[in-house]
């Protein structure tokens, strides 16, 4: 099964998910999204697979959200949220797993089981 993990090596939950995938015999494609920020088209595909609004991909607990003055109560447009996420990848809720079965924001790490065969 093809599997992609949008991974943050510094995040213990992301490391747990990667280990879970590897323990199940998968060799996921690892995208370190903080080093290689997703472009708009890639992020749109992820959001479409997750069936969410870009706002729901924002981790508002990150200090960058406070620095930018954004909150979950903001009513920004789709394009505005996309611009924020592509310019500030640290705001992307982690970790994201994409497989042929679908996509999931993997909190907790066991959520990955929803998109595995």
Please name the residue that has the structure tokens 């199940």: 24
Output DSSP code: residue 109: G
3-state secondary structure at position 68: helix
> Which residues belong to the active site?
11
Output DSSP code: residue 36: S
3-state secondary structure at position 37: coil
First to last CA, the chain: 8
């Amino acid at each position: 099964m093809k599997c992609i993990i949008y991974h943050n090596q510094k995040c213990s939950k992301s490391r747990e998910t990667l280990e879970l995938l590897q323990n199940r015999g998968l060799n996921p494609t690892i995208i370190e999204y903080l080093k290689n920020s997703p472009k708009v088209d890639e992020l749109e595909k992820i959001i479409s697979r997750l069936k969410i609004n870009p706002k729901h991909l924002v981790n508002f607990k990150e200090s960058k959200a406070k620095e930018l003055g954004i909150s979950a109560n903001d009513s920004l447009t789709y394009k505005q949220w996309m611009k924020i996420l592509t310019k500030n990848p640290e705001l992307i809720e982690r970790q994201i797993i994409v497989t042929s079965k679908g996509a999931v924001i993997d909190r907790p790490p066991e959520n990955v089981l929803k998109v595995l065969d």
